[in-house]
Amino acid sequence: MSETARDPEAVSRFVESFAAQLVEAGMQRMAARVFAALLSSDEGVMTSTELGEQLRISPAAVSGAVRYLAQVHMVSREREPGSRRERYRVHGDQWYEALANRDAVMKRWEAALREGVSSLGADTPAGRRMAETLAFFEFVEGEVAAMMERWRVHRERLFGES
């Protein structure tokens, strides 16, 4: 079924329903709505005007949502060919990219926790709590890296090379 043959109300219900799930998980409301709209479009690409019209939101709301989504690597910006207008793209591997880019955040947390253990003293109650938190993040980091490698293999098996 082509995108033009879709029931716009059904698409709107899906976008709002999925966005609500993302909001419940902690995503900003407008960013969740923009992401769900992009994800539900066949091309995975929309302009600010198209997003604003579909979601009935202002250009400023689209801009703020896209800025957040780009920062967390869930969408990318690109120029519309032959135009100064930007369009926004969601990629098939957006979940992978978003999770993989959390690695830098975790490394910063680990560095801060190491400093905390050193500052507080490893043998103090607070230092031990810090050390346990650090060990948890180091463990998660290793598990995520291994999981992402398994995902790459699984994704290639399901969808071919990307």
Q: Is 0.95 surpassed by the pTM of this model?
A: no
Cβ contacts of residue 101 below 8 Å, gap of 6+? 72, 73
Whether residue 7 is found in the same domain as residue 77: yes
Residue among 73, 79, 2 at smallest CA distance from 41: 2
Whether residue 78 is found in the same domain as residue 108: no
Per-residue pLDDT tens digits for 45-80? 999 999 999 999 999 999 999 999 998 888 999 987
Cβ contacts of residue 55 below 8 Å, gap of 6+? 15, 33, 34, 37, 62
N-terminal to C-terminal alpha carbon distance within the chain = 24
Number of domains in the chain: 2
Angstrom distance (rounded) from CA 140 to CA 49: 40
Per-residue pLDDT tens digits for 16-39? 999 999 999 999 999 999 999 999
The residue range of the domain holding 126 is 101-159
Contact assessment for residue 98 and residue 72, using Cβ atoms and an 8 Å cutoff: yes
Last residue of a domain, one of 40, 64, 91: 91
Report yes or no on 72 lying in a domain.
Answer: yes
Whether residue 82 is found in the same domain as residue 11: yes
Last residue of a domain, one of 91, 121, 147: 91
What is the pLDDT at residue 105? 80
Angstrom distance (rounded) from CA 16 to CA 33: 6
Residue among 116, 101, 99, 111 at smallest CA distance from 137: 111
Whether residue 77 is found in the same domain as residue 138: no
